[in-house]
A = this chain, B = another copy of it.
């Protein structure tokens, strides 16, 4: 029976053979853990994150769970609740085979604030990016519909100002509270904020406007509920724009990394070279190769 075989394969647990080497990071606040180990002799990183408690499952949670009293004091009491298993999943991401860079990316690190002048970008950051040549194949797979085609929320095929809008990996799309989408531009010649000039204002305006419209249409969420921004440094050097829900403290929405697209557009309109010439501030982890380059240059 094909159906059963399919079900079988869906439920097969490839993690049974996972051998943990170390916990790279975890957050008790966010209920997430990053584990490094081996999966059938290949290096792998496994990320497990508890899922949010969904409003539409409350009735079943209340009626179908078992409760164990921990503490009672006056009007306050605390319990351990054991939910029906299907209401209490863990979102699991596997990176396999994982490179040294992946392991470093997820490892908990000391943070340093870097001041990068326009010249520092040219002499330190740009050569470093070019030398790394991190693969962008997964981005091109999305743009070419070779992967995640069914996840695309909106697409503008224009080769100059077009983009693909899709949910970020981090969002399970089960609730709007942590809405997180990415607009990936079709153009492949813009690495980051640093490459933007007034020439790119129409591209940014197009992404901003059509991205907001697509989110309103699909999720009924108006622009006044959205935080729309670029990262600097980005985690990959192909221009993309983050759309997250206001009130959701998305990782990377802090002032030390995020740049509101509305500000970026205004800055480029009044100074075409704004992002070529400004000192930009960002944080780097202690084992980031770029941080070493800044240290070697005596900039930290």
Binding site for B on A (CB under 8 A): 10-16, 18, 20, 23, 26-33, 35, 46, 48-53, 55, 58-59, 61-63, 65-69, 71, 73-83, 85-86, 88-98, 108, 110-115, 137-138, 141-142, 147-148, 151, 169, 175, 177-178, 223-227, 229, 246-250, 253-256, 258-260, 262-263, 266, 270-271, 278-279, 281, 283, 300
Does B246 lie within 8 Å of A111, measured CB to CB? yes
Does A68 lie within 8 Å of B10, measured CB to CB? yes
Question: A112 is contacted by which of B29, B97, B225 (Cβ under 8 Å)?
Answer: B225
The secondary structure that dominates the A interface is: mixed
A94: chain B residues within 8 A (beta carbon):
76-79
Minimum CB–CB distance from A185 to chain B (whole Å) comes to 19
Give the complex CA separation of A266 and B280 in angstroms.
10
A32: chain B residues within 8 A (beta carbon):
53
Q: Would you list 16 pairs from A and B whose C-beta atoms are within 8 A, ordered by A residue?
A: A12-B67, A15-B65, A15-B67, A20-B62, A28-B248, A75-B98, A76-B93, A78-B169, A81-B89, A81-B90, A111-B246, A112-B224, A229-B255, A246-B256, A256-B260, A266-B279
Does A111 lie within 8 Å of B76, measured CB to CB? no
Give the complex CA separation of A49 and B142 in angstroms.
35
Give the complex CA separation of A140 and B138 in angstroms.
57
Does B67 lie within 8 Å of A50, measured CB to CB? no
Given contacts A73-B141, A73-B147, A96-B75, contact A254 B256 (CB under 8 A): no
A79: chain B residues within 8 A (beta carbon):
91-94
Give the complex CA separation of A148 and B249 in angstroms.
32
